[in-house]
Amino acid sequence: MQSAIRQVLAIVAILGLAVFPSAVRAATVVQVELWDRGADVQMPTDLAYPATDAAHANAIMGIKLSTDTARAGIVSFQVTNTSKDTIHEMVVAKLAKPGEALPYNSKDNVVFEDKIDYVGEVEETDPGKAGTFTKALAPGQYILICNIAGHYAAGMWTTFTVTK
Ligand SMILES: [Cu+2]
Q: Which residues pair with 137 in a beta bridge?
A: 73
Q: Specify the pLDDT at position 6.
A: 62
Q: Are 156 and 41 in contact (CB under 8 A)?
A: no
The confidence score (pLDDT) of residue 25 equals 78
Distance 74 CA to ligand 1 centre (A): 25
3-class secondary structure, 88: strand
Convert 74-113 to b/e letters by CB count within 10 Å (16 or more is b): bbebbbbbebeebbbbbbbbbbeeeeeebebeeeebbbee
Cα-to-centroid distance, 51 and ligand 1 (Å) = 17
- What is the mean pLDDT for each group of 10 consecutive residues in the chain (164 residues)? 59 52 79 97 96 95 98 97 98 96 97 98 98 98 98 98 97
Ligand 1: distance of its center to the CA of 19 in Å?
40
CA of 154 relative to ligand 1 center, distance in Å: 9
What is the predicted pLDDT for the residue at 119?
Answer: 98
Q: Are 87 and 44 in contact (CB under 8 A)?
A: no
What's the 48 CA to ligand 1 centre distance in angstroms? 13
